[in-house]
Amino acid sequence: MIDKLKGLAFPALVFWLLCLVINSFMGYEMPSIIGKLTLALVFGSLIFYIFKMRLFSYITQRVLESAFTLFAIATLTFLLLRVLPGGPFDQEKTLPPEVMANIAKKYNLDAPMYVQYFDYMKGVVTFDFGESYKYIGRPITDILVESIPASIELGIYSLILAFLMGIPSGVIAASKHNKFGDRILMFFAISGVALPVFVVAPALILLFCYKLGWLPAALWSGPQYYILPVLALGTRPAATIARLTRASVLEVIASDYIRTARSKGLSNSVVLFKHVLKNSLIPVLTYSGPLVAGLLSGSFVVELIFAIPGMAKHFVQSVSNRDYPLIMGVTLLYSALLIISNLIVDILYSYFDPRIQLS
Amino acid sequence: MTTAALSQPSKSLWQDSLARLKKNKSAMYSLYFIVFVCIVALFAKYIAPYSYETQNMDAILEGPSAKYWLGTDSLGRDQLSRLIFGARMSMAVAVFTAILSLVIGSIYGAVSGWFGGVTDRVMMRVVDILYSIPTLVLLILMKVIFDSLDIFENPELKALTSILVALSLAGWVTLARVVRGQVLQAKQMLYVEAARSLGAKPIWILARHVIPNIMGPVIILLTLQVPSNILFESFLSFLGLGLQPPFSSWGVLANEGWSLMKSYPHLIISPSVAMALTLFAFSYFGDGLRDAFDPKMRGRV
């Protein structure tokens, strides 16, 4: 039963991602019912899997741990920002004391430290981080909600690109082991790993915008705007995935059951896709955790270079403006994104590799 | 087997691995390049033709020439000198984070793995929590701390210290995990038992027998961490969260060059090439080290 579900859920996942790409890049609206159905299938089978494998206690434990980590991070940021000398309003030294008192009152800075802490924690639990010090009168939650979609879109497209480019080139390189194709692909892969985003992105802009004039150089307002940033962000993970896939495919090819499959007379492509690929993708999946973290921090540079209205701008500006509530909000959001994606990766990992026992 | 073969001095694991490493050409050239960059960074003051902040208002945004080999930037500063001074930051990050996380990580991991039991569980829980704090968050917090504490007069030192502390805090955790795993394995080995039966103290066994034997994987992990640390530093300087101009780092140069990219491409090309070459060298060297130390590869070459 579980195997059948997996056989159904995996193509559904791929199909859903494909729909996503078609919807946003080709400008063709797929009927939304298809997307919803496939998504329901994917999540349904995952939930069924969690039920069947009795993963609930594991997941609860992990969620509690994550909550504790977030709590620790929240406390740490609070302590650092409130206890350390020097506040965001210090530079305006000419202000009379009454004005300072008013500012302190407005932002709840005159209360005793423990009261401030409890208020802050209450806010964190209810997703209310207070008002920005810099953009006066704007709640932090508004700023964050407004900037999340672009960042997440950029991240997901780059993730898809990384897998779509990385896995096939890794398999091709391994199947042409030590021949010309392998060398060329691996040279590109090592370059992709060694080249920082802020080298790749300007190079892409120079080529495709200034020399050829094919694509826009900045902003995030349509499919043609997505291509360059996604390429810039996806190159490095794609290169890493290609190298991992190659190494792991080479290892699997040398194993006994592949020799058996070959000696049965199965064709090369059947062996490669049915036997080798399935077993060699597990190390690649393990890399997804660090991959997501890398994408999150890499996306900051890409967002700045391509002027994408995402989280990066706020992250950088909040620090230089010493906009403490915004720093806290962005920090917690970023940590939460990372922790949640790690949890999902762990569950998926056991889903695809039945040898892994989560408990 | 002849007596001659037997009377040859036996090779230790280390000598064996080093010999293999020396045979690997791309790894050795990478090593030479890394040493070269380190020397340039160390003696930047004497090598660079100008200072990183000397301005020549008559030569603004000039292309490469005999006087300014890599041209000048928008404030008339020599790009080559800024590039050379910028190497200091990258190399300092590479060397110091490696040393710091190696020392902290191996001591912590070794103690945790060696004593086991409740000590191990508590110590590893701490590691788990630290592990799930994103590096970028650590960095922001460190920057805020160092900005408000006012310990350092020199802004270059301040930026360097906050980046170093944050990257080492993030780096030692992974190392501690690996060292702990290795120590757990090594504890079962016969040579440890032999040392213990001879009455050696635990500290002595750890320092003399266990740690030298588990260093292979640890060093490999370290060389793989170094390029990502260099990358992170340039990232931050690029974003404006690390070093600030007029001080120079490759990330700062890339940031300055990127905004003028359309009209003056030479400003983005030089830091990009320097960065890419250095990262290339580190990844080839890391690959070479892994091949040299990986027992699976032994005897195959």
* Global pTM value: 0.76
Number of structural domains (chain B) is 1
Average pLDDT on A138-163 reads: 84
Please give the mean pLDDT across all residues of chain A: 79
Distance from CA of A183 to the nearest CA of B (A): 14
What's the pLDDT tens digit per position in A60-96?
A: 888 888 888 888 888 887 887 776 666 666 665 667 7
Q: Note whether B149 contacts A85, CB cutoff 8 Å.
A: yes
**Chain mean pLDDT for chain B:** 79
Smallest Cβ–Cβ distance between A335 and the set B137, B255, B284 belongs to: B137
Of A261-270, B62-71, B129-138, least confident by mean pLDDT is: B62-71
**How many domains would you assign to chain A?**
1
In a domain, A21, yes or no: yes
Of B128, B143, B279, the CB nearest to A319: B143
Q: Is the pLDDT of residue B123 over 80?
A: yes
Range of the domain at A24: 1-52
CB A194 to CB B279 under 8 A? yes
Work out the minimum CA distance from B108 to partner chain A, whole angstroms.
21
Cα–Cα–Cα angle for B161, B164, B169, rounded to 5 degrees: 125
Q: Is B144 within 8 Å of chain A by CB?
A: yes
Q: Is residue A30 part of a domain?
A: yes
Tell me if A134 is assigned to some domain: no
Residue burial A249-275, b: 16+ Cβ < 10 Å; e: rest: bbebbeeeebeebeeeeeeeeebbeeb
Does residue B47 belong to any structural domain of this protein?
A: no
ipTM score of the complex? 0.70
Residue contacts between A and B (CB atoms, under 8 Å): 119
* Structural domain includes residue B282: yes
Say if A209 falls within a structural domain. Answer: no
Evaluate whether residue A207 is within a structural domain. Answer: no
Contact A84 B144 (CB under 8 A): yes
pLDDT of residue B298: 41
Partner-chain residue, chosen from B145, B238, B241, that has the shortest CB–CB distance to A319:
B241
Would B73 be classed as within a structural domain?
no
Tell whether A78 is within 8 A of chain B (Cβ).
Answer: no
Does residue A23 lie in a domain region? Answer: yes
Residues A182, A176: Cα–Cα separation, whole Å: 6
Residue B83 contacts residue B253 (beta carbons within 8 Å):
yes
| Chain A interface disruption, residue of B34, B142, B143, B144, most A CBs within 10 A | B144
Mapped to the 3 state alphabet, what secondary structure does B12-44 carry? CHHHHHHHHHHHCHHHHHHHHHHHHHHHHHHCH
Instruction: Give the whole-angstrom CA distance, residue A187 versus residue A204.
Output: 19
Query: Is A6 a member of any domain?
Result: yes
Q: Would you call A131 helix, strand, or coil by DSSP?
A: strand
Q: Does B171 touch chain A (CB under 8 A)?
A: no
Residue of chain B whose Cα is closest to the Cα of A72: B129
Q: Whole domain around residue B105: which residue ranges?
A: 13-41+82-297
CB contact A305 to B (< 8 Å): yes
Tens-place pLDDT, residues B153-212? 777 788 888 888 888 888 888 888 888 888 888 888 888 888 888 888 888 888 888 877
In a domain, A44, yes or no: yes
Tokens at B158, concatenated: 């301040």
CB-based contact (8 Å) between A334 and chain B?
yes
Q: CATH code at B201? A: 1.10.3720.10
